[in-house]
Structure 1
Amino acid sequence: MKSIVLFLLLSLVAPPAKKKLTIWMIGDSTMSVKRPEAYPETGWGMALGAFFRDNVQIENRALNGRSTLSFIREGRWQPVMDGLHKGDYVLIQFGHNDEKIDKKGVGVMLPEYKANLARFVTEARSRKAIPVLLTSIARRHFENGVLLNTHKGYPDAMRAVADSLKVPLIDMEKKTMALLTALGDERSIPLFLHVAPGHEHYPNGKKDDTHLSPEGARAVAALAVEGMKENKLPLTKYLR
């Protein structure tokens, strides 16, 4: 009887299980979780969890085709806000679709893009979460052996928001451009969704220089982790 009472007393004073650190991810198709039938297309957010220990939870809410505007209008930001806790991180990477200004309800001009980014930052901070801005990854677009920048002024706009609001910035555009340039036109192909005809999900084959292969997703996730270390983000103590 005494041992039972002692056990009950100890259970009452035992510390609660430590809450996992949560990394929320909001963005577009280059980051998002893919449906099985889209394989081998892989968002780099799918590869990020492998870099962290088990006490980190990844909540990847990025979606194909989304911009800052459509992510908010479709009500996809509010559930993230509702789930945020003090100390959580929010990785914010939009731009690929924001720049499609001829696409109604998706594309936005630079001032609205900056305002939407600022909203994500200030509202995440209101929940005592830690926002991190990430510029868009580069498209594989070589001309005469030279990798071209295709993102217009959107990465610069994000850099300006990061500077004005004192937000950690991981410059994924610069990092991925450096990687693709170092590999060159041909050797960078395996990082992207290039599939030969006859694949079960792509019977006619696919040549997509925006979306990533599993190899590309791992490489880009590694660059994001590199950026976290460069910014000296406290979450790096959870890395494997």
Structure 2
Amino acid sequence: MKTPSPTIRNYALLSLLLLLLTAFAAPGPRKIKLYLIGDSTMANKVRQVFPETGWGMPLVTFFDSAQVTVDNRAQNGRSTRTFLAENRWQPIVDALKEGDYVFIQFGHNDEAENYPDRYTSPEDYRKNLIKFVTETRGKKSNPVLLTPITRLRFDKSGHITETHVAYSKVTTEVATQYQVPLIDLDKMSRDLVQQFGPENAKLLYLQLAPGDHPNYPYGRQDGTHFSELGARKMAQLAMSQVIAQKLPLLSERLAKPTAKNAVPPATNGKDAQPTTP
């Protein structure tokens, strides 16, 4: 039997060593899921309603997709009560794993007294939020409560009107009582809309004149749902709090800039860098 050459023996030993190192190497961080539960202001949209955009749609771009999966379960027209009654919550509980996150943002439909099929009293709204929080924690996952985003409603003096007083208050109280991270999108979005002003703020919402878009030939004056710009701005507000509050796991897994995007902007003509399309 012919004896293997030293080169072949060395190659075999190196291959075996690499295999052993790979087998015993520490595994990388587990990919976590960020579940979004809420209403139409957060939900994914179909092309037939474009440019209406839920703020959960651009949220995915803020995370490293190799480490975080954003699973948007928000649905148009749902309150906390109907989300539970339609069995939309239990499948999420069953799927939750340790370290996952659940962003919980309701209120728009809970407070709609003129829609009895979805209305939820503040007392029941509180109970439902507590259920979401406690059952998320029961799976060693992380609940985050978010107050509902403001509607486009200015008073005659040009000041944004607070439109979710009772339900934002309950959300804040539950967050305090159960020591849950709170993202106060109600206040943050009101501040943002006020900065835009009564006219420019229309750019954030689904405000279309007749002929602006084929999906809305007669136009649309909607002060609840967002344009693409508005959805992105609301997602930025939420992400600013993920970073500011240093939410574990999420704040560590943000998307990294590409080499091209990481180049600082030119300060003058001499510093300008040519770009490739």
TM norm. shorter chain > 0.5: yes
* Alignment match, 1:188: 201
* Alignment match, 2:244: 230
User: Are residue 209 (structure 1) and residue 220 (structure 2) matched?
Assistant: no
Q: Distance in 1 between matches of 2:59 and 2:182?
A: 17
Deviation string 1:34-80 (CA, Å, 9 cap, x unpaired) is 01111100000001111111221100000100000000000000111
Aligned residues: 240
Gaps of 5+ in 2: 1-7, 256-277
Residue 143 of structure 1: CA displacement?
Answer: 1.9
Q: Distance in 2 between matches of 1:45 and 1:149?
A: 22
Q: Which has the higher contact order (CA 8 A, sep 6+)?
A: 1
- Which deviates more from structure 2 when the two are superposed, residues 153-162 or residues 103-112? 103-112
* Alignment match, 1:179: 192
Residue 82 of structure 1: CA displacement?
Answer: 1.4
* Alignment match, 1:167: 180
- Which deviates more from structure 2 when the two are superposed, residues 80-89 or residues 196-205? 196-205
Q: Distance in 1 between matches of 2:244 and 2:223?
A: 28
Which residue type is aligned with residue 98 of structure 2?
A: K
Which residue type is aligned with residue 245 of structure 2?
A: N
Q: Distance in 2 between matches of 1:96 and 1:175?
A: 16
Deviation string 1:144-176 (CA, Å, 9 cap, x unpaired) is 112111113110011111111111100000000
Bigger CA radius of gyration:
2
CA contact (8 A) 1:69 1:105 kept: no
Residue 232 of structure 1: CA displacement?
Answer: 2.2
163 and 201 in structure 1: CA distance in 2 versus 1, 3 angstrom threshold: same
Q: Distance in 1 between matches of 2:108 and 2:46?
A: 20
SS in 2 for 1:160: helix
Q: Distance in 1 between matches of 2:120 and 2:245?
A: 29
Residue 205 of structure 1: CA displacement?
Answer: 1.1
SS in 1 for 2:165: coil
Task: State the TM-score, normalized to the length of structure 2.
Answer: 0.82
Deviation string 1:183-234 (CA, Å, 9 cap, x unpaired) is 1100111111112322221111111110001100110000001122232212
Give RMSD over aligned pairs. 1.8
- Which deviates more from structure 2 when the two are superposed, residues 99-108 or residues 217-226? 99-108
Percentage of pairs with the same residue: 45
Residue 106 of structure 1: CA displacement?
Answer: 1.2
Equivalent positions of 1:92-171 (< 5 A) are 92-144=104-156, 145-171=158-184
- Which deviates more from structure 2 when the two are superposed, residues 146-155 or residues 168-177? 146-155
Q: Distance in 2 between matches of 1:134 and 1:30?
A: 12
Equivalent positions of 1:51-130 (< 5 A) are 51-54=62-65, 55-130=67-142
* Alignment match, 2:56: 45
SS in 1 for 2:129: helix
Gaps of 5+ in 1: none
Match of 2:234 among 213, 217, 220: 220
183 and 36 in structure 1: CA distance in 2 versus 1, 3 angstrom threshold: same
Deviation string 1:120-149 (CA, Å, 9 cap, x unpaired) is 000000000000000000001012112111
- Which deviates more from structure 2 when the two are superposed, residues 3-12 or residues 175-184? 3-12
